[in-house]
A and B are shown apart, each in its own frame.
Chain A
Amino acid sequence: MKRTLRKTKRALIASLAATLAVTVLVGCGKQADDASQQTAGTVAEAKPLIVYSSRAEHLIQPVFDLYTQQTGKQIQFITDKAGVLIERLKQEGESTPADVFITVDAGNLGYAAAEGLLLPLQSPVLEANVPAHLRDEENRWTGLSLRARTIVYSTERVSPEELSTYEALGDEGWEGRLCLRTSKKVYNQSLVAMLIAEHGEEQTQQIVEAWVNNLAVAPLSNDTKEMEAIIAGQCDVGIVNSYYFGRMKVANPDLALALFWPNQNADESSTIGVHVNISGAGVLNHSKQAAAAQAFVEWMASDDAQAIFGGVNQEYPINPAIAVDPEVKSWGDFKASDLPLSRAYELQPAAVKLMDRAGYH
């Protein structure tokens, strides 16, 4: 009995080891194939484009599939946090296999550009399709979809007339009625960075302190939690990315929440337009096929790709000429801030420190 048991165990272990060995070998084999294709070099189409992405797999796979379908060009990718990918690219240096870098915010693209990882592009296509403030001056990166960070309110306890601007959420009337997501999320860091760009640090700190003062509960860990807290009556207003609202709305059309587009009327005391951020991309400096990589990034800014890039996540297309998804359109039109998003990176550390000083955690 003991013998057979031991034999079974040995067999089990041996088969596991064998499986793994095969997997590893196949992995290496694939690499060897890639390498041989690299040396062959002549068949450019056969070499896949390699993408490092902090945008999640289910949001980029459909776009990649469409490109492969249209052009025959294969795309391989890995996903990870943007900060980790940037560090990885820095360490890989010239030997990086990556061609394209995709993120879900402008700050990290700005950081990658500042670290010299991204290639400046001569691109009439990007210049025609993407508004100037949503891409880098030298086209080292470009936005591909637009995400609005706006005010959400309870339709049961708030009338839209009470709302006006981000800044006004610090007014006395909102004391104990405001919910915010943690300041550790880059979306809030970009928002505050843009407030600094408009008002300067001193005034922005006062605004943030006033927000903190009005908080009904300690900052929450994500946008969905903010909206759930508003529905449950813990608070009345919050600041969220529009697509999180969109997801809840699709799941529950009778949602007792609505979006409000703030800062629509130019005024001395407020910034102009709704704060927007981007999900975007850049071509990597050490790409071995920069031309193919640029063609791919330009394609993502073109009509075909734009129809799905933001659409899969209820975001707005980067190109104002492309029609917005009807569901998203139903939340209303708004004027977006046209401050250049490159400022989001430059002012992000200042914004983070300011929020720390203001006690916004």
Chain B
Amino acid sequence: MTTSPASNVALEDRPAVPSGSLSAGSGVSLFQRLFNAKALWPLFLLILSLPTLLALGSVLASLFNLDTDTLSHLLEYLLPGALGNTLLLVSGTAICSAVVGVALAWLTAVCDFPLRRFFSWALLLPMAIPGYVMAFAFVGLFEFSGPVQSTIRSWFGSSTWFPDVYSFGGVTIVMSLVLYPYVYLIARNAFQTQGRRSIEVGQSLGLSPVRSFFRVSLPMARPWIVGGVLLVVMETLADFGTVATFNYDTLTTLIYKSWFSLYSLPAALQVASVLLLAVVVIMVIERRSRAAQRYSQSQHASLASSRFVLSGKRRWVAVVFCGLVFLFAFVMPSLRLLSWAMPNLASDLNGHFFGYVWSTLSLASFSMLLIAVLALMLAYGARINQSLPTRFAVRASTLGYALPGTVLAIGLFAPISMMNHWLQDIGVPASWLQGTFLIMFMAYGVRFMAVAYSPIENNYLRITPSIDDAAHSLGLTGLQVLRRVHLPIVRRGILTAMVLVFVDVMKELPITLMTRPFGFNTLAVRVFELSSEGLWQRAALPALAIMLVGLIPVMFLIRKTDQAQE
């Protein structure tokens, strides 16, 4: 086994005072001792997953008291259509995001072609566009009354042949445009950490780049890709804003209709439970399918020397493909937003606006750090202790992403209020329910754990169990193994997780709306308030700002990961 640069870093990091051998020495802090006690981990992880379990519990509890009146109406008139629409949309979006995301990831991670460096970060940017903003920009451009069809009519007299935007196709395209970056980011991470040896072996056997992709890279990246697609599936199932813009009814539409129009929260939660069960089934299938595989990698040498340098026609196909995706997913909506924002720029770019930017930035940064650390704990715990409680805690913690944000927020609010009432009953002034960020971060943690966990967990697959054994036999204890052995290897996964959480928190709306202190506004809240009143001209500026702020972690991540690579 060759020594990788990563483990060099780990060795440099060794503290000046070497700690004792297998047993915890007297200089070891309580924290370290607790951390190293394997038997405590299931308990620790169960506590970590408690907020999620409470939220899911209050959603599932609705099943005990069925609102048959509302449900039978839904069943008779709406459910068949909505179910069909949901299945179509989820599979369409999953397939499109997977194909586009994986192709782009492989091109930018493994190949070399003009503008590759630019595309490698630029292609992540659409992730920062909230789905409903993309939907509005897209619909505005391509619907009958939009500029594209109007131009066509002025040239040819008719635009009836133009495909209807308000359709399965339209909503799938928009959904894929904002969600492919999840697959792209995670798959790119897989391709980058695959190491050059496998590709070199392929090259020496005379595999062309395309065949090498299908025979070597793709199978080896499978859990990453599936993990990314699973995030896309959950996000699609939970989406309300995008489908509402298209008036495309899905299961989420039924949830909102039951709650807000038929005044039945129980029926809404019952539909949400169905959604939740569907996700559990998908997750179980995914777990089963990966169980038998091993994806560990013995080394992480640079890919730079073994990139496929695309030549001739191929390089231009790559450039055009990346360019087209970038054009539709980023340039087009940005220009649309910019054209709206320009007239109000002078009046809206005021102190308030920079306040929104600052609160968004600090909220997203702190959540990013917090949730990445918690997800790392989950992944580490799942590795050292594979008991049933651990696995249960880990799986449960990642379910929050599948519920529509509003449902999750209200599901979490219920147990918190209950706790609040108890506290008041025993005489504790319980004003902490409002106006502190504690609840807010807890809710973000529940919602976005899946986003952070997936990339970290996958990078853990890169570490063979024998590495842990070796570390232990060298006298490293739990925390030291994590710091010196695991961290250097899962570092990319953590960075990926941080970017995903940052961008997701920035876009997040229902939890922010419900748990924010009085007078606390973020950019996403502004976009929502203005756009829900139809004031898109003024909503455009905060929407653009979300994209610009999202640029910061994306640039940072790409620099970090490419630095290590070249």
Contact = CB atoms under 8 A, between A and B. Distances in A.
Interface string A16-50: 11011001100110110011000000000000001
Contacts of A361: 247, 249
Nearest to B429: A35
A56 B406 contact: no
A172 interface: no
A307 to B, nearest CB: 21
Contact of A27 (B410, B436, B513): B436
Contact of A78 (B260, B430, B437, B516): B516
A28 B436 contact: yes
A349 B429 CA distance: 39
A88 B431 contact: no
Interface stretch (A213-221, A268-276, A321-329, A333-341): A213-221
Interface string A212-247: 000001111111110011011010000000001001
A208 to B, nearest CB: 13
A56 B144 contact: no
A145 interface: no
Interface string B236-251: 0000000011110100
A87 B510 CA distance: 13
Nearest to B77: A356
Given A95-B433, A247-B534, A84 B424 contact: no
A220 B247 contact: yes
A93 interface: yes
B261 A16 contact: no
Nearest to A349: B262
B145 A352 contact: no
Interface residues of A, number: 63
Interface string B388-412: 0000000000000000001001100
Interface in A65-113: 76-84, 87-88, 91-93, 95, 97, 111
B145 A228 contact: yes
A157 interface: no
Given A93-B417, A111-B263, A27 B247 contact: no
A163 interface: no
B494 to A, nearest CB: 12
Nearest to A231: B145
A186 interface: yes
A357 interface: yes
B530 interface: yes
B421 A93 contact: yes
A67 B132 CA distance: 35
A7 interface: no
A59 interface: yes
A182 B261 CA distance: 13
A76 B518 contact: yes
Interface in B142-190: 143-145, 149-150, 166
B369 A17 contact: yes
Given A91-B414, A349-B263, A79 B513 contact: yes
Nearest to A16: B365
A56 B533 contact: yes
Given A24-B436, A232-B144, A19 B362 contact: yes
B366 interface: yes
B341 to A, nearest CB: 15
B406 A84 contact: yes
Contacts of B257: 184, 352
A95 B421 contact: yes
A82 B513 CA distance: 12
Contact of A221 (B77, B245, B420): B245
A31 B435 contact: yes
A196 B244 CA distance: 26
Contacts of B245: 221
A175 B73 CA distance: 29
B259 interface: yes
A182 B245 CA distance: 10
A231 B145 CA distance: 8
Given A76-B519, A77-B518, A84-B406, A352 B421 contact: no
B122 to A, nearest CB: 24
Nearest to B424: A95
A57 B526 CA distance: 9
Contact of B534 (A35, A76, A244): A244
A244 B246 CA distance: 20
A87 to B, nearest CB: 5
Most A CB contacts (10 A, CB to CB) among B262, B265, B518, B532 go to B518
A91 B417 contact: yes
A291 interface: no
B78 interface: yes
Interface string B514-532: 1011110100010001101
A263 interface: no
Contact of A23 (B150, B362, B417): B362
B280 to A, nearest CB: 25
Given A184-B253, A356-B78, A92 B433 contact: yes
Contact of B431 (A58, A76, A97, A234): A97
A87 B145 CA distance: 38
Contact of B369 (A13, A27, A58): A13
- List 9 tightest A-B contacts by C-beta distance, closest first: A232-B145, A83-B260, A76-B518, A91-B417, A228-B145, A20-B366, A356-B77, A56-B529, A80-B513
Interface of A: 2, 13, 16-17, 19-20, 23-24, 27-28, 30-31, 34-35, 50, 56-59, 76-84, 87-88, 91-93, 95, 97, 111, 182, 184, 186, 189, 217-225, 228-229, 231-232, 234, 244, 247, 348-349, 352-353, 356-357, 361
11 contacts: A31-B431, A56-B529, A84-B406, A84-B513, A91-B417, A95-B417, A95-B430, A217-B166, A218-B247, A232-B149, A361-B249
Interface of B: 9, 73, 77-78, 139, 143-145, 149-150, 166, 244-247, 249, 253, 256-257, 259-263, 265, 362, 365-366, 369, 406, 409-410, 413-414, 417, 420-421, 424, 429-438, 510, 513-514, 516-519, 521, 525, 529-530, 532-534
